[in-house]
Structure 1
Amino acid sequence: MPKTRSERSGDTALTTDQTLNRNVKHYILDTNILLHEPLAFLNFDEHNVIIPMVVLEELDNIKDRQKDVSRDARVAIRALEEALHEASPEQITAGVPLTRVSGEHQAEGHLSIFPDFQLRQQDASMSLTENDHRIIQTALELQKQNKGPVILVTKDINMRLKAKGAGVKRVEDYRTDQLIDDIKLLSKGFYQFPGDFWSQVTDVRSEQDGRDTYHYIPLSVFPNPFPNEYITDETEHFAARVESYDSHYVKIQDIGRERLMGQRAWGISPKNIYQAMGMNALLDPTIDLVILTGPAGCGKTLLALATALEQVVEKGIYEKIIVTRSTPEIAESIGFLPGTEEEKMAPWLAAITDSLEVLHKSDEHMESSLDYTMKKANIQFKSINFMRGRSIQNAIVLLDEAQNLTASQLKTIITRCGAGTKIICSGNLAQIDSYYLTPLTSGLTYLVERFKNYHGSATMNLNGVVRSSLAQYAEENL
């Protein structure tokens, strides 16, 4: 008879029956999994998790570095220590029940440390001088023991290839934080009805609230709405935004295309309906998080900066603009650059300064205008590595190149935002520079899916390249 959860929590080691249970899988975790999500070993349900000794060595080397990942390494080490601190060396090798770990999780398998350094003398067919090879050799050794399916989990694409080439039968990416199976399913932030919208609506109730008009349409007409989703049709007249919904009706705000296209922010107007819908969300002070996605040249950075300047300088809604972005190599190289933090960040924030120049290119004295705007808007360039521990109040945060961040990194930044702060995350999922991220596992994708049902957020995919005809042709054909 299978044991209950409480009975399993009293176990001290992996029994022979559990070891030979062919339904229980054995997941070997690479170091990058624990850096990506420090508590990842608690996400494998009833299956067993194995940590090679070399992974602990790598975490130990990383925990004291002056890098963003050092915190994740320390969190992972503390979590592993909590799970194993009462176990004997023999129990740690055999497997310790994960049910003893406090907190909300569904882990019912066992956690063990594999002494991979012992393999050096046992098998000379593969050089074990490289850490990757020691992890791969751990998987090969466990396959030989034939105790059930053995799966090596790593976010390193090249290591997955090496492991398969070396004979590891099952190698996988870590997909627990992957919310969609196809990037085509990612929410765009808008829905376009074919034909004329009103020809498809027979039951509607309207109400006026000041200058705003709201319509209640049946949920059957628009079955999968989410807050602040925009609605258009092919007539080029209708445009609306989802206000709320229940089990019967969807409440939409009738905005109108002319009204959207007539918006202006810091001297610029939208060039297409997608920019117009994005600008509407960016200028709405009730929306705390705006996510802009789209190809290179669609206007993400320019739109974000123009609307930020409009709300800080002209309307006085916010007090300052904080600009940051993902900088893959900044952890190693920023300390070697001269000057202040803003001066160190300048090479990585050229897109922002380029956009500022575009916004002031027609001014008679552009450099003076730029200096004035920088001071008036209190624009601050900050490194993403130094955002931890801060509480940002009454500011607009522009987070550029967000496609290169993990979900945990984005969480760190967003949770820094205090009262009266708006954050604008922008990125292009086709331009991921990280070795371990794909469009499906990017933190930007995770953010879009997690926040699409939050009433204080809006997403907009800025379809179409407006930078130049050359840029558009390159985006479509290269």
Structure 2
Amino acid sequence: MAKKYANAPSARKAGEKPKIFVLDTNIILHDHKAIRKFKDNDLVIPVVVIEELDKFKKGNDALAFNARGFMRDIDRITEGRSFGKDGVPIGKDLGKIKIEPCHPFPESLAGLFYDDIPDHRILSTAIWVRDNNPDRFVALVTKDINLRMKAKAAGMEVQDYLTDRVEEEKVENSAKEVIFIDSPAAETVSALAYSPQTAVDWRQISEREPKPNQLYKIRNEGGAICARYDADAGKVVLVKTKSAYGIRPRNDEQKFAIDACLNPEIQLVSMTGGAGTGKTLIALASALEQARDYEQIILTRPTVVLGNQEIGFLPGDQKTKMSPFVQPLMDNLNVIKSQFRPSSKEALKIEEMLKSEKLLISPLAYIRGRSLGKVYFICDEAQNLTPHEIKTIITRAGEGTKMVFTGDIFQIDQPYLDKWSNGLTHLGEKMDGQKLFEHIFLRVGERSELSDIASKLL
């Protein structure tokens, strides 16, 4: 059995012939730089993949960006030369790449699949490449589970694209970011909870210096005290119960979340958790609480719909097209407004912010190319973003900007993402230990008893 790669494939050994990987369209749409992730092994792109990419090249979304980026890269690589029989070099210390015309299934498999569709052409071409290179390892690489099953049925070696897959252990650790401390010294509890500084030296809590923004629950006879490691001060500080625009935490994780969202020193926050745990509500309420400190509050979410159609197929202008996608954000806004009387200054302030676009709900596709200065930016359902999309968004951050990403990595709507490869998981894994970043996993559903039971049992 050929090894699947949790990281980039290693370079081949001396005397070993390079492997050949046949790439499916979804690999390029997922990561347009994927051709540079296979070390000195060779790549084959079936021509039907180029035809499919042509359908995706228009638009502002990530698929269009990746399609265009790949085609520009291939054009640069092949400038002034053709692919020839063996392909062209991709770059230094990399293998060769070749565009291969489509080939039919061999006679022994001619009746296996009846429909003439791109997936079957890619598979038949991969089989042809394998049969014409008997002395080399050949594998089809695709993120399409159905195509992987078909390839296995046809006896073709097939692999997922795993170079951006976060290890299982790290995914599990992201849900265990709180360290529990039982029966601490009485003076530690007293200094942390009741002293004017409400902080203690980290040596009273841990044998080794914690990572920045490490969260703690210190349990004693009186209950649990929430705390966080402040790396700049070198102390473990008390996390106090705070409210944000009428929203108060209902559990310890929500207390951590509100503290992070209200802390101006923490510029990047990641919140994960199941339905009804309060992720979006806390992010939005915290933004409203600090509205005077930011020039604008932007709320957005990926426009993922059934059938992978884009918002362009919906009738109406931009605002009308976005309304089905932003309704969950508006629902959270209405929950916050319900904390106040309709004529209260808080409720009227929200209405005024919406009218003046101080509070703006915007399509995510329009973020690319912008510079977001002094903005409180909230991205909901971020588990449906690729790692590259997350990077694109964060690199838009200017001076004074704070970004909050929320989502549930177990409820992914993108067909080629999973809990290991989505952008929200990558964000938590790559930014872990940075002073300006904090991750909170919300465990308890607070929407309703019915919602909580359904989330656990169904």
Q: Distance in 2 between matches of 1:338 and 1:435?
A: 25
Counterpart in the other structure of 1:215:
201
Give the partner amino acid of 1:138: T
Query: Deviation at 1:319?
Result: 2.0
Among 219, 230, 233, the alignment partner of 1:234 is 219
Partner residue of 1:326 out of 288, 293, 302:
302
Task: Give how far 1:428 is off.
Answer: 0.6
- Asked if residue 167 in structure 1 is aligned to residue 155 in structure 2, the reply is yes
Deviations 1:300-331 (A, max 9, x none): 0111111111000xxx1112211100111398
Indicate the residue corresponding to 2:333 in structure 1.
356
Find the counterpart in structure 2 of residue 432 from structure 1.
412
| Alpha carbons 1:291, 1:460 under 8 Å: kept | yes
Task: Note if contact 2:244-2:289 (Cα within 8 Å) is conserved in structure 1.
Answer: yes
| Structure 1 unaligned blocks of 5 or more | 1-17, 101-106
Aligned to 1:285: 264
* Paired letter, 1:395: V
Question: How many pairs are equivalent?
Answer: 433
Report Cα offsets for 1:402-432 as digits up to 9, x if no partner: 0111111111211222111111100011211
Q: Does 1:99 align with 2:91?
A: yes
Distance change (3 Å), C-alpha of 1:367 and 1:440: farther
Residue equivalent to 1:133: 120
Task: Tell which deviates more after alignment, 29-38 or 136-145.
Answer: 136-145
- Residue 28 of structure 2: aligned partner: 34
Q: Is the 8 A contact 1:282 1:307 kept in 2?
A: yes
Residues 391 and 416 in structure 1, CA contact (< 8 A), matched pair in contact too: yes
Distance across 2 between alignment mates of 1:200 and 1:141? 73
Find the residue that maps to 2:104 and give its secondary structure.
Answer: helix
1:228 to 1:338, Cα distance in 2 relative to 1, 3 A: same
Q: TM-score, normalised by structure 2?
A: 0.85
What is the distance in 2 between the residues matched to 1:403 and 1:357? 24
TM-score normalised by structure 1 residue count:
0.82
1:58 equivalent in structure 2: 52
Question: Helix, strand or coil: the match of 1:78?
Answer: helix
* 1:72 is the counterpart of 2:51: no
CA distance in 2, matches of 1:110, 1:128: 31
Instruction: Give the Cα–Cα distance (whole angstroms) in 1 for the partners of residues 286 and 105 of structure 2.
Output: 60
Distance in 1 between residues matched to 2:122 and 2:15, nearest whole Å: 23
Q: How does 1:309-388 map to 2 (within 5 A)?
A: 309-312=288-291, 316-329=292-305, 332=309, 334-337=311-314, 340-365=317-342, 370=347, 372-376=349-353, 378-388=358-368
1:151 aligned partner, one-letter code: A
Return the alpha-carbon distance in structure 1 between the equivalents of residues 176 and 198 of structure 2. Answer: 21
- The corresponding residue for 2:8 is none
**Residue 446 of structure 1, CA deviation:** 0.7
CA deviation after TM superposition for structure 1 residue 293, in Å: 0.2
User: 1:272 corresponds to which residue?
Assistant: 251
Q: CA deviation at 1:275?
A: 0.5
Distance 1:22 1:130, change over 3 A: farther
Q: Judging changes above 3 Å, is the alpha-carbon distance between structure 1 residues 221 and 448 closer, same or farther for their aligned structure 2 residues?
A: same
Partner of 1:396: 376
- Give the CA deviation at 1:194: 4.5
Distance of 1:239 and 1:391 partners within structure 2: 36
2:448 aligned partner: 468
Contact 2:303–2:310 (8 Å) recurs in 1: no
Find out whether 1:84 has 2:78 as its counterpart. yes
Q: Say which of 130, 140, 143 aligns to 1:143.
A: 130
SS of 1:358's partner is helix
Cα 1:191–1:64 change in 2 (3 A) is closer
How many percent of aligned residue pairs carry the same amino acid? Answer: 34
Checking the alignment, whether the CA contact within 8 Å between 2:283 and 2:378 is kept in structure 1 is: yes
Deviation of 1:190 after TM superposition, in Å, equals: 3.0
Shift of 1:114: 1.8
**Aligned 8 A contact 1:341 1:381 in 2:** no
The 1:63/1:240 distance shift into structure 2, 3 A limit, reads same
What displacement does 1:367 show?
A: 11
Measure how far apart 1:94 and its partner are.
0.9
Structure 1 residues 119 and 374: CA distance shift in structure 2, 3 A:
same
**Corresponding residue number in structure 2 for 1:176:** 163
The answer as to whether partners of 2:19 and 2:42 remain within 8 angstroms in 1 is yes
Task: Give, in angstroms, the shift of residue 361 of structure 1.
Answer: 1.9
2:40 alignment partner, SS class: coil
Deviation at 1:220, TM superposition (A): 6.7
The within-5 A match list for 1:439-450 is 439-450=419-430
Give the counterpart letter for 2:207 in structure 1.
V
Q: Distance in 2 between matches of 1:468 and 1:94?
A: 62
